Amino acid sequence: MIVALIDSGLGLLPTSAWLRRLRPDLDLMLSLDPDGAPWGPRDERWVIDRVVGTARRAVDRGAEVVVLPCNTASVTALDHVRAELGDGIPVIGTVPAIKPAAAACDSVAIWATAATTASDYQANLVEQFANGSSVVGVACHGLADAIDLGDVEAARAAIAAAAAHTPSDVTGVVLGCTHYPLVADEIAAHLPEGVVLFDSAEAVAAQTLRRIDALGRDTTGQGTVEVLLSGTRGKLPISAASFDAGRLLLAAPSR
């Protein structure tokens, strides 16, 4: 079975790596968009068309399940992708792990891109899931871009700046961009001891597997990884090798 994962950049790596660990026989199709990245600042209609078109091409190439491990793609285009592909193709989106963080911690910071931090989307999630906890948004300027470039020093500087703007009484930090789990250890090192990090990659992978099992089909594959770069077959960017998840996927047989 082929599972397609769609993001503009390396934000798809954490969920892809979890799928690789949990179900190593699945064939993964990783669709990145270097020509259009980043998606966050783009016009909403542009993002919808880009993500829907990518999902349609993935299914036409044999994908039976589509995952959007990207907050921008999920909030903007998830419903449109589901409408385009119909009920026969499970489409799994991503939501920042605000609910479990608020359930476990009295004071929570959401680290996200500047666009997401200022969005109604995040504000609505906080209103829905804060559950009485204090929740503050922290814009991580330049962090996702640094991760896409594999620029460890720039990522470290962006993390240090975000940590400096995080209230000292915070006990939980939500990694509100799917890129950020790739540098979770560095983020933890910049926060006070005992602060718990929350991200959604493992939960999205687990939900994907539940949806696959519910199909009742033979899911056995060859464990291959195919990479599409703005619709053209290619390889993961060399920057992926800077991260454990990237190295895991780079070591898989190609399709």
Per-residue pLDDT tens over the stretch 110-165: 999 988 898 898 999 999 999 999 999 999 999 999 999 999 999 999 999 999 99
Angstrom CA distances, 54 to 36, 86, 241, stand at 12, 15, 24
34: which 2 tokens? 């270097």
182: which 2 tokens? 């790739």
pLDDT confidence of residue 18? 98
Q: In angstroms, rounded to a whole number, what is the distance separating the alpha carbons of residues 51 and 132?
A: 35
pLDDT confidence of residue 94? 95
The torsion defined by the Cα of 45, 126, 191 and 146, in degrees rounded to 10, comes to: 0
| 3-state SS, residue 12 | helix
Q: In angstroms, rounded to a whole number, what is the distance separating the alpha carbons of residues 136 and 138?
A: 7
Counting Cβ atoms within 10 Å, is residue 161 exposed (0-12), middle (13-18) or buried (19+)?
A: middle
pLDDT at 41 over 90: no
Count helices and strands in the chain by DSSP H and E runs: 11, 10
Cα 204 to chain centroid distance, Å, stands at 9
Closest CA to 209 of 24, 12, 9: 24
pLDDT confidence of residue 40? 87
Mean pLDDT of 225-244: 97
The model's pLDDT over 193-204, given as tens digits with 9 standing for 90+, comes to 999 999 999 999
pLDDT confidence of residue 53? 98
Known catalytic residues? 70, 177
pTM for the full predicted model: 0.95
pLDDT confidence of residue 201? 97
Mean pLDDT of 34-46: 93
Q: In angstroms, rounded to a whole number, what is the distance separating the alpha carbons of residues 33 and 36?
A: 5
Q: Where are the beta strands (DSSP E) in the chain?
A: 2-6, 27-32, 65-67, 91-92, 107-112, 134-139, 172-175, 196-198, 225-229, 232-234
- Residues 117-131: b if buried by 16+ CB within 10 A, e if exposed: bebebbeebbeebee
| 3-state SS, residue 220 | coil
pLDDT confidence of residue 219? 84
Average pLDDT score, the chain: 96
Mean pLDDT of 39-44: 90
Residue type, 24: P
pLDDT at 8 over 90: yes
Q: In angstroms, rounded to a whole number, what is the distance separating the alpha carbons of residues 9 and 197?
A: 22
Long-range CB contact pairs, 212-216, < 8 A, 24+: 212/1, 212/3, 212/23, 212/26, 212/65, 212/90, 214/90, 215/64, 215/65, 215/90
pLDDT confidence of residue 255? 82
